[in-house]
Structure 1
Amino acid sequence: MEWEPWPPGEVARRLAGVRSPWYVAGGWALDLWLGAETRPHEDIEIGIPAGGFPEFRAALREYEFRVAGDGQLWPVDGPAFEAHHQTWVSDPATGRFHLDIFREPHDGDVWICRRDASIRRPYREIVRHTAAGVPYLVPELVLLFKAKATRPKDEQDFTAALPHLDPGRRAWLYAALTQVHPDHAWLTRIEL
């Protein structure tokens, strides 16, 4: 599975006509928030409301879609679609993957955390935009998701973002981490 990820601006260009909310997620979201690329990125993820997936599929109709999960890829029109939240987008000519779409739970205009459905926030609160108009997920939510695996890149992202989190973002992250990952090592590093 070879990746040739689109840069965030290219994703925004290709999705310019989409009306559903969406945002760059993962490490790229933190870099967009910080205003600089802090490390290399081997892929790019976006989050979308699960119910809006048909609109994204139509916007990228010339590409192939595969459901990704458990180290495997499945057809997007099969049973794996409901079992896994990730959909990889590839070029049918080259087979290279360009985009990873996270289909997230939601209730209308309210985002729902897939790891704890009691954590909910309106899209208008969790999506910010760069000066060029690229939407990205707010850093406290990105870090909440990165806390699950804490791979070296997640630790690097946390270390780069932490000094820039204002007290409100720190407090939200601390409360959410306490709820979702109560014994997480990052809790001791977040000063309230």
Structure 2
Amino acid sequence: MSALPTLPHDAWSAWHPQELANRLAAVVRPWCVVGGWALDLWHGEETRPHEDLEFTILRGDFALFRAALSGLRLHAVGDGHVEPLGVGEAPPADKAQVWCEDVAAACWRVDMMLEGGTPETWVYKRDPAIRRPRGEVVHVTEGGIPYLAPEAILLFKAKYRRDKDEADFSRALPKLDAAQRRWLGACIARAHPGHAWLEAL
């Protein structure tokens, strides 16, 4: 990797998801917003401040998305380390997160996650046995922004249970339909037996 200096880890001034969608409008490969923003796209409003913006792509499509975001400098992230990627350099196989730096503005704009699966199948990265048709688990807003379904976002959030995760779960729970609750409950029971959210589901 190159030895370029990196920004402070907290130097975030993230785009709105619509800005990301505009920049990726010509890309035909799968991608979607994840994290807290995905829940707010589902809610149809911004329910809380967001420190960053996360989206996910298939690892094999990295070069394509890098080209679409050619104005940004990319950095591989993992284990608390942020390492600039050289021109044409792909993230190491053991890294699945890439922060995108707006050099001119001296800030991070978006966090790109690299996932497994296929264009047809979404695979939960922490347990590949949990998978669904991508067409089921990726929704699209009226404005054309793809986002991961709320039940899948909450499955990720169940591991950490930070204050914002608890708030996101409480806010989303009344809106989840029976099928979403069943799927989320089954997945949490598999991934986190005895989890406190199971009773609520």
Corresponding position of 2:140: 129
Corresponding position of 1:12: 21
Shift of 1:80: 5.9
Give % identity.
47
- Listed as ranges, the matches of 1:1-192 within 5 Å are 1=8, 2-76=11-85, 81-190=92-201
> Residue 106 of structure 1 aligns to which amino acid in structure 2?
G
Larger deviation, residues 119-128 vs 73-82: 73-82
Shift of 1:124: 1.0
Q: Would you say the 8 A contact 1:3–1:43 is kept in 2? A: yes
Shift of 1:79: 8.7
> Residue 109 of structure 1 aligns to which amino acid in structure 2?
E
Separation in structure 2 between the aligned mates of residue 143 and residue 151 of structure 1, nearest angstrom: 12
Alignment gaps of 5+ in structure 2: 1-7
Per-residue CA deviation, residues 63-120 of structure 1 (Å, 9 max, x unaligned), is 1000112221013357962112110001122330000011011134212111001011
Separation in structure 1 between the aligned mates of residue 78 and residue 171 of structure 2, nearest angstrom: 28
Q: Would you say the 8 A contact 2:73–2:84 is kept in 1? A: no
SS of equivalent to 2:29: coil
Per-residue CA deviation, residues 7-47 of structure 1 (Å, 9 max, x unaligned), is 01001001101111111101100011011111100101001
Which runs of at least 4 in structure 1 moved beyond 6 Å after TM superposition?
none
Per-residue CA deviation, residues 96-155 of structure 1 (Å, 9 max, x unaligned), is 000001101113421211100101112111111111111111000000001111111111
Alignment gaps of 5+ in structure 1: none
TM-score, length-normalised on structure 2? 0.90
Corresponding position of 2:3: none
> Residue 69 of structure 1 aligns to which amino acid in structure 2?
G
Shift of 1:172: 0.3
SS of equivalent to 2:75: strand
Q: Would you say the 8 A contact 1:48–1:104 is kept in 2? A: yes
Separation in structure 2 between the aligned mates of residue 45 and residue 138 of structure 1, nearest angstrom: 14
Shift of 1:183: 2.2
Q: Would you say the 8 A contact 2:73–2:103 is kept in 1? A: yes
- Which protein is richer in helix relative to its size? 1
TM-score, length-normalised on structure 1? 0.94
SS of equivalent to 2:51: coil
> Residue 71 of structure 2 aligns to which amino acid in structure 1?
E
Q: How many residues align?
A: 190
Q: Would you say the 8 A contact 1:90–1:97 is kept in 2? A: yes
